[in-house]
Amino acid sequence: MSRDSAERMNSLSKNLVSATMDKAAWNNSTIIKENVAEQISALTQQSGQDILLFSSGTLVQTLMQQDLVDRYHLLVYPVILGKGKRLFQDGSQANLRLIDTKVFSSGVAALIYQPD
């Protein structure tokens, strides 16, 4: 990460959803421990930038159940593992509409969907 990118990231407001953290080490960070869906819903009502979610299948499930996901950015890597943690739990259901794609020189495909 370049110095400019790091400075920009540090200046952004960050909300961390965690049941175990008591203090966030990253600048401009707030920890959300309880009433997650309600607090995320309140964040969506504020003006400003999009809310991005990284690396939490559990949180995705919570937000899906509350209809709080506006767009899915999925990266498909050209590797078959045959096992691993699933992003969507058994019983999850959503009708999605593909709105954009991009294929990188590495073979990774970015698929962007909106709930239909």
Answer whether residue 51 is part of any domain: yes
Residue 10 lies in a domain: no
- Residue identified by tokens 């009708």 is 95
93: CATH: 3.40.430.10
User: Tell me: the pLDDT tens digits for 33-92?
Assistant: 888 888 888 887 877 767 777 767 778 888 888 888 888 888 999 998 888 877 777 777
For residues 92 and 60, the answer to whether their CB atoms sit within 8 Å is no
83: domain range?
Answer: 34-115
Q: What is the pTM of this model?
A: 0.69
Residue matched to tokens 């691993």: 84
The verdict on residue 105 lying in a domain is yes
User: Tell me, what's the pLDDT at 1?
Assistant: 60
CB neighbour class for 63 (10 Å; exposed up to 12, middle 13-18, buried from 19) = buried
Cβ atoms of 44 and 66 within 8 Å: the answer is: no
Longest dimension (CA), the chain: 43
> What span, in angstroms and rounded, lies between the C-alpha atoms of 112 and 89?
20
Residue type at 33 in one-letter notation: K
pLDDT of residue 102: 96
Number of structural domains in the chain: 1
